[in-house]
Amino acid sequence: MDHPPQKLLDLDRFLPYRLAVLAARVSRRLAREYADEFGIDIAEWRIIAHLAGGEVVSVRDIHARVNLEKPRVSRAVERLALRGLVDKTASAADGRLVELRLTGPGRALYEKIVPRALSLEARLLDVLTHREREILDRALSKLDGRIGAGL
Amino acid sequence: MDHPPQKLLDLDRFLPYRLAVLAARVSRRLAREYADEFGIDIAEWRIIAHLAGGEVVSVRDIHARVNLEKPRVSRAVERLALRGLVDKTASAADGRLVELRLTGPGRALYEKIVPRALSLEARLLDVLTHREREILDRALSKLDGRIGAGL
DNA sequence: TGACAATTATTTCGTTTGCAACGAAATCAT
DNA sequence: ATGATTTCGTTGCAAACGAAATAATTGTCA
């Protein structure tokens, strides 16, 4: 008796797998660069990038906005504060909140990182046509919306 | 004196960030499903999926092929072997190698997982038009090729 | 052949991770 | 007001991670 005909699943064509592998490779690459050149990790980078927007934000804001678990934000912020890159003061209005802002050195570091980050992104996107970039952009947004909406 | 004009970087438009967030969300969703329904994690799933191809492979093959670090493969394989889902025997030809193959129960589990995995993928892809899927497919391949080639 | 290099899988070990629990502070309900 | 509930940030802790070390086997070449 033969095996029943079975629909095989090719991992290399399986979207969740492809996304995970690509994202891991890109993140690893970025992480190495950030670590070697600037001594920060991905969580710290995301926090700095978010703070560079200028608004005063709390740990929770970052947690909600930048896809990092609260403990991870808390510890990363602590490291950044110890290095003087981020200013961390208790909110006067609400004693539970912490007001986070980029310091001068923090902004200086940010401005050194940005060109590197954009350059890496540009080199990546280089392999795509303009139209492919457009559609990739839209597709990622749609997928993210879908997965965000409970599936 | 004002700040010098500074090119801001919007995280939400930064490809590495978008990929990381989307992949993390999708993976987390899959991981929960695999854990709840089948008691396996992502690494175990990848190994099973790869073994389902039928060839006899080694730990190293999986490591190279499926983007998992060697220790992770080693431990995941060990767990699968303890549960009788994978057969693990030393190679006669080369004593350093381990020959891995799916057992009957292993294949049975695989065949239960596949429809779930494909269903989730389908529900994701549902939000994309046919053309968007095509281009997303090509774009991911191109990007992966690029990052693979040292960038 | 025999010493040395290379390869494979595992293990070790220090770090990171993230869930859960906590204390402090604010908000709500009565 | 006062007590209960909720929100915020941090911390404790067990598990996971991964780089490097190790053990076992094979390959090389003098």
pLDDT at A3: 47
Angle, vertex CA A27, rays to CA B50 and CA A136, nearest 5: 80
Q: With 90 as the cut, is the pLDDT of residue B84 above it?
A: yes
| Per-residue pLDDT tens over the stretch B4-21 | 546 789 999 999 999 999
Strand-strand pairing, B98-102 and A86-90 = unpaired
- DSSP β-ladder status, B86-90 and B98-102: antiparallel
pLDDT given for residue A4 in this prediction: 52
Convert the pLDDT of each residue in A13-56 to its tens digit.
999 999 999 999 999 999 999 999 999 999 999 999 999 998 89
Distance CA A140, CA A104 (A): 34
Rounded to a whole number of angstroms, the distance between the first and last alpha carbons of chain A is: 39
Q: How far is the CA of B107 from the C1' of C9 (A)?
A: 24
Q: In whole angstroms, what is the distance from residue B88 CA to residue B99 CA? A: 6
Considering only CA atoms, give the Rg of chain B. 20
Examine the pLDDT at A75 and tell me if it is beyond 70.
yes
Closest residue, chain B, to A148 (C-alpha): B25
pLDDT tops 70 at residue A94: yes
Residue appearing with tokens 């008796």: A1
**Coil, strand, or helix at residue A101?**
strand
Residue A27: the pLDDT is 95
Smallest CA–CA distance, residue B90 to chain A, in Å, is 26
Residue A10: its pLDDT value, please? 93
Contact B127 A140 (CB under 8 A): no
Selecting from B111, B126, B146 the residue whose C-beta is nearest the C-beta of A124 gives B146
Distance A147 CA to D10 C1' (A): 30
Sequence-ordered list of residues with C-beta below 8 angstroms from that of A124, at least 6 positions apart, any chain: A26, B15, B16, B143, B146, B147, B151
H-only helix segments in chain B? 15-38, 42-51, 59-66, 70-82, 104-125, 130-148
DSSP code, position B4: P
Q: Which residues of A touch B131 (CB under 8 A)?
A: 135
In whole angstroms, give the CA distance from residue B128 to residue A124: 23
What class, spelled out in words, does domain B40-119 have in CATH?
mainly alpha
Confidence of residue B3 (pLDDT cuts 50, 70, 90): very low
CB-CB neighbors (< 8 A) of A14 in chain B:
49, 117, 121
Å from A98 (CA) to C27 (C1')? 18
Q: Count how many pairs of residues, chain A against chain B, have C-beta atoms within 8 Å.
A: 176
Q: What is the pLDDT of residues B50-76, one digit of tens each?
A: 999 989 999 999 999 999 999 999 999
Over residues A58-68, the pLDDT tens digits come to 999 999 999 99
Buried b (16+ CB within 10 A) or exposed e, B115-146: eebeebbeebbebbeeebbebbeebbebbbeb
- Residue at A82: amino acid letter: L
Q: What is the mean pLDDT of chain B?
A: 93
Domain positions in chain A are 13-121
Quickly give B68 CA vs D30 C1' distance in Å.
39
Q: Mutating which of A1, A3, A18, A26 best tests the B interface, going by the most B Cβ atoms within 10 A? A: A26
Query: In CATH, which of 3.65.10.10, 1.10.10.10, 3.40.250.10, 3.40.980.10 is domain A13-121?
Result: 1.10.10.10
- What protein residues sit with their CB closer than 7 Å to strand D? A 58-61, 63, 70-71, 73-75, 77-78, 88, 96-98; B 41, 43, 69-72, 94-96
- pLDDT beyond 90 at A73: yes
Predicted confidence (pLDDT) at residue A140 exceeds the cutoff of 80: yes
Q: Taking residues B81-98, what's their average pLDDT? A: 94
pLDDT above 90 covers a percentage of chain A that reads 88
